[in-house]
Structures are given as C-alpha cells and as structure tokens.
Homo-oligomer: A and B are copies of this chain.
Amino acid sequence: MQPHLFTPGPVSIPHEIRQRGAAPLVSHRSEPFFSLLEEISARLKRLLRAKEPPVLFPGSGTGALEALAANLIAPGDRVISFSCGAFGDRFREIAGRRGAEVIPADIPWGRGATPDDVKDALARSPDPAVVLFTHNETSTGAVTPLGECIAALPHDGPLVLVDAVSSLGALPCFPEEWGIDGLASCSQKGLLTPPGIAVAALSPRGWARAGSRPCPSYYFDLSLHRRFLEKERPQNPYTPPVTLLCSLAEALRFLEDFGFGKWFRLKARTAETFETACKAMGLPFFVEDPAFRSPAVTAVKVPGGKGKDMKRALEALGVDAAAGQGKEPSLLRVAHYSPGGWPELSLIAGSIYGAGKMCGLDLRPDFSEAAWNCWTREGE
C-alpha cells in the first residue's frame, strides 16, 4: 500500500504532474526542449516577480546552496550566517567548505531571524561580505520575515544569499523586491515536482559578482549556465533532467492557473487549520509565536519526547510524516505543500489523533469543529 505522504519533501504530487514526466524522452538539444525551458522560465519569472529567469540544473536543494557558495562566496570572505535550525547549519557548513570566514549568528531554534537579530549581528561584525538566511527552516517549521530582515541591512551592503529550498512556491518569495542576491531552491517541495531539479536565481549584483572571478566548479558555474540560457534558444551546458522538467512545466501550469496569490493563501489557511486541530487536541507547537509559524510545515511537540514513536505509529496507520531532525527528539513535522483540502486535513488530523492514542497520549477528541470553523472562516 502506498503511504499517505505528509513529509516536508518529497511531497505528494498530483497524478497529472507525475504522468507528464513519463512521456517519451526528447533530446535536450531540440526544439521541443527549448520551448519547454522557455515556458518554465516565463512561469518562474512570474512566480518570483523577477525580470531574469532562474538557472535550473540537476540537483537537490543542497546542490542549489552549493552553487550559490561556489559563485558568490570567495575563500576568506567574511560571511554572517543566520541559522535557526538544521538547514541553516547546513548552509553554514557549505560556506565554510568554500573557505569562507563564517561568523555564526545563532537564532534560537523555534523562531525565525528578525531585523533586531540582523542589527545585533552587524553591530558585532560590521561590514561582512555576505549574509546567509534560511527563508523557511524545514527542521523546525519557522519562517524568517526576509523582506524586513534584508531591509535592516545597509543599502548596497553585503550580498544576501537565501535558502528558499522549502519556501519557493508555497509562500510568497520575491527576491528582486526584497533584495536577495542569490536564491537557492529545488523542485520537490513548493514546486510540486519530483526531486532532482536545483533552482538558483541571482540579482544583477549577484551576476556581476559571479562573473568577476573564476568559479571553482564547472558543474555549478552559474555564469556558464546563464550563457547557455541566453543562447538563441535557451538550453543547459550539460544534460538536464528532461523528464523532471516536463513535470515541472505541468506543475507550474497548475499553480499559475490556480493563481499564485490564491495558492499562497490556501497554504496559509491549510496550515492554520492543521494548527487549530492540533491545538484542540492539546498538542503544543515547537514554534510558539504564531507570527513565525510556517504555512509549509508545522512542527508539533509530542509530549514525553515521543516524536519518533508518533512517526512510527503513523507509519503503522499508513501515513508518512517526519520526526525531529538533530537535537529535537520531541518533534513531529507535517507538511502542507500538496494540493489537499478538508478531506486531507481530516485524514492527517485524525491519523495524528489515532497515532497519539497508540503512543498512550491523552489527546482531546473534539478537534474537528474548531478545525472546520477555521477552514471555512474565509470565503475562498
């Protein structure tokens, strides 16, 4: 039996999008592929409200982070790394391997970074070359208000690199409006596509920096990718994941036809409804301040540190969710990327209730009414 998938990536993907990737192969040096890439670029530009299309290449989100480091960080660069979870720590490690002088700015796990955190870090370490942010911290379910944090940086200050791996497509993310110089993401979360496509978007300042010095990697050389993207017909310097790109085109069609803005509101409402159900059951949240709670992934604190037990109980019921990552054994993480709706919300809330019973937790059973009221509060 195929389990119901609520993990924060890869996410459950509509049949039509998966099926598109099963079409017969085309060459990546042929007109059908060029048109496909052109369509994807146009739709991604509208999603990002950007003038220039992002670079797409075979990789995971981690690969996109590496590409930012390879092109926009030089050995010895002073890099302030804001981290509020396992993925912020990973971005930091990637910058460190690039030879950066990493200055850690640790935000307590369970919230995102704030403009005050930015000001504090700059007061301690003025004039960094680069700052690193994580937009949506998958390991804790915390969002960083990126626009506000970047506004707290000096104008024309450090390059701003952002891990948008688990935010792009699921919550508003507008790199050009917010002043992001390098954005990294991937296919398998908010973009509703199987894993295997890395996404990197640079600002004009980012491109200038990337072009001003040699890239230590051929594979991740974004300027090389850009030259191929700007050929008469857009393409890639080496073989792209053709079938996954077919799925991505279909997913972007689905999201744009739905309406990007309307989709973001649906994700927020889905997360709120799920939170309402959990709260009614008596389950607390790892991210205590609702302002930082992610519309993409909710981390519930399971009483008695039983995160892994809950995950296993859910598995026995046929549901895949994620336990905590690293130092947080009490967490159960549930993602909201997939289309879903009230039936799916009922499925996951009811399954958590049942799994809680299996783990000996005393959860309140009357969660459905509060959840239904939240779900139907808005008119959409």
Residues of A within 8 A of B (CB): 2-3, 5, 7, 9-13, 18-19, 21-30, 32, 57-63, 65-66, 90, 93-94, 97-99, 186, 188, 194-198, 214-220, 237-244, 315, 320, 322
Query: Apart from A2-B26, A21-B194, A94-B217, what 13 extra A-B contacts exist at CB < 8 Å?
Result: A5-B25, A10-B26, A21-B21, A21-B22, A26-B320, A57-B60, A58-B58, A58-B195, A60-B239, A62-B219, A94-B218, A97-B215, A196-B197
> Which B residues touch A18, using CB under 8 A?
21-25, 243
> Which B residues touch A7, using CB under 8 A?
27, 29
Q: Given the complex of chains A and B, what is the CA–CA distance between A219 and B220 in angstroms? A: 11
Q: Is the CB–CB distance between B27 and A63 below 8 Å?
A: no
Q: Is the CB–CB distance between B241 and A196 below 8 Å?
A: yes
Q: Given the complex of chains A and B, what is the CA–CA distance between A220 and B315 in angstroms? A: 32
Among the listed B25, B93, B195, which residue makes an inter-chain contact with A218, where contact means beta carbons less than 8 Å apart?
B93
- Give the residue among A5, A24, A98 with the most B Cβ atoms within 10 A: A24
Among the listed B215, B218, B239, B244, which residue makes an inter-chain contact with A9, where contact means beta carbons less than 8 Å apart?
B239
Q: Is the CB–CB distance between A186 and B239 below 8 Å?
A: yes
Number of copies: 2
A58-B60, A195-B58, A219-B66 known; A27 vs B239 contact (CB < 8 Å): no
> Which B residues touch A13, using CB under 8 A?
24-25
Least Cβ–Cβ distance between A22 and chain B, in angstroms: 4
Least Cβ–Cβ distance between A61 and chain B, in angstroms: 7
> Which B residues touch A197, using CB under 8 A?
196
> Which B residues touch A24, using CB under 8 A?
2, 5, 12-13, 18
> Which B residues touch A57, using CB under 8 A?
60
Least Cβ–Cβ distance between A242 and chain B, in angstroms: 5
Q: Given the complex of chains A and B, what is the CA–CA distance between A312 and B237 in angstroms? A: 21
